[in-house]
């Protein structure tokens, strides 16, 4: 019993009774235990709800923080380029005063292209309605060669000989499987490239596909910014590659390779070295045991970005000890919208799997989609 005095000084008794009934003293411990259990259960449920809400909030904050960090990295790259331009203005104030554009250093151009490419590929990867290009995608409605093998085509159809003019096209895309598998570097991709030679104008033979090469591969990319002598090593790639023409004997051609591709850029120049090693096959299953004699041990590519967004690229492959080579020259320039006019010339061995041991000349004219250099870099 507790007693409390009111303002008038008169005592007022306030009585608090614990229990459901005053005279039920035997049930008091049981009722107290029930009350404690009810309070404990409510506290546990409340704690669980708070933990779930905190976990959801932390995931949202992590996703938001990742996007914020990537945006911050892009902003810092832009700020760095702006500061370099300001330094050039300080070093050459007379040119700036006369309105001449500030020329970027070659390594700055390469780093800017690398940053632009990363940003575009990240945006494409996160967009479920987009396709990220891998190699050059092109369509050549006119592709001429007078050196096609009549014997090989006779296994396709005996109705007529192959036309010298056909349609050549290539589709190539890649899909990101994992990002940053080694800390902050190492992106894993699956890629698929298909190149076809279509006798579209050979109606006497029912316009068959003379040859199609299928090239799936899985690789890991290491984007880099290592610099030496003005060149920037922008990317290193390790890949497992399968290439075949999907035909049965005697036209079956296939091989598996492991290659390492290294890309270097200096301003508007780009050099790619891609040595490869053929995975050995048994003598009974090897459709083309001498393919290394003609295709060699790797590809070397040299590209140059010219004025007005024009691009030229040269390819060299082959086996020096055997004296067998394959060379290709591509020249492209903006046509309309995102299409580029494209001219391609190939000479030597290895243009296709079916003709890997057949030396030929080929000239192709048409359109391509993705440029060699970054899309934003082309606007300089």
Q: Where are the beta strands (DSSP E) in the chain?
A: 2-5, 11-14, 132-133, 138-144, 165-178, 187-198, 209-228, 231-244, 254-266, 269-278, 298-305, 311-319, 324-336, 339-348, 360-368
Is 244 part of the annotated catalytic residue set? yes
What is the three-class DSSP state of 30? helix
Which pair of tokens denotes residue 374? 């970054």
Indicate which residue of 124, 160, 244, 252 is catalytic. 244
The vertex-265 CA angle with 261 and 269, nearest 5°, equals: 115
242 is catalytic: yes
DSSP symbols for 39-104: HHHHHHHHHHHHHHHHHHHHHHHHHHHHHHHHHHHHHHHHHHHHHHHHHHHHH-HHHHHTTPPPPP
Q: Which two tokens stand for residue 326?
A: 């394959």
Query: Catalytic pick from 84, 242, 252, 310?
Result: 242
Distance from C-alpha of 113 to C-alpha of 93, rounded to nearest angstrom = 27
Alpha carbon distance, N-terminus to C-terminus of the chain:
90
Active site residues: 242, 244
């Amino acid at each position: 019993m507790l007693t409390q005095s009111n303002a008038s000084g008169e005592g007022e008794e306030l009585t608090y009774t614990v229990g459901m009934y005053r005279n039920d003293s035997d049930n008091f411990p049981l009722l107290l235990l029930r009350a404690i259990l009810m309070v404990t259960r409510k506290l546990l449920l409340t704690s669980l709800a708070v933990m779930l809400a905190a976990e959801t909030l932390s995931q949202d904050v992590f996703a938001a923080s990742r996007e914020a960090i990537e945006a911050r990295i892009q902003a810092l790259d832009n700020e760095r380029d702006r500061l370099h331009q300001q330094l050039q203005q300080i070093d050459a104030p007379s040119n700036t005063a006369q309105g001449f554009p500030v020329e970027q250093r070659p390594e700055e151009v390469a780093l800017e292209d690398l940053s632009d490419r990363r940003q575009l590929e990240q945006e494409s990867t996160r967009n479920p309605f987009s396709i990220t290009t891998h190699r050059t995608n092109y369509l050549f409605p006119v592709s001429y060669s007078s050196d096609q093998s009549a014997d090989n085509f006779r296994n396709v159809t005996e109705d007529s000989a192959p036309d010298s003019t056909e349609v050549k096209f290539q589709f190539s895309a890649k899909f990101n499987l994992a990002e940053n598998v080694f800390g902050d570097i190492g992106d894993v991709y699956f890629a698929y490239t298909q190149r076809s030679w279509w006798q579209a104008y050979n109606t006497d033979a029912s316009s068959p596909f003379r040859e199609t090469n299928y090239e799936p591969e899985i690789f890991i990319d290491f984007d880099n910014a290592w610099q030496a002598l003005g060149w920037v090593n922008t990317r290193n790639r390790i890949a497992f590659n399968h290439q075949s023409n999907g035909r049965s004997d005697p036209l079956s051609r296939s091989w598996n390779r492991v290659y390492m591709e290294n890309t270097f850029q200096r301003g508007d120049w780009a050099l790619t070295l891609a040595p490869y090693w053929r995975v050995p096959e048994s003598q009974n299953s090897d459709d083309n045991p001498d393919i290394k004699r003609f295709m060699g041990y790797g590809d070397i590519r040299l590209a140059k970005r010219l004025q007005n967004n024009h691009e030229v690229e040269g390819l060299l492959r082959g086996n020096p000890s055997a004296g067998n080579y394959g060379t290709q020259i591509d020249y492209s320039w903006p046509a309309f919208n995102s299409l580029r006019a494209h001219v391609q010339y190939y000479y030597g061995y290895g243009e296709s799997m079916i003709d890997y041991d057949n030396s030929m000349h080929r000239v192709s004219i048409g359109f391509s989609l993705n440029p060699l250099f970054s899309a934003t870099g082309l606007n300089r």
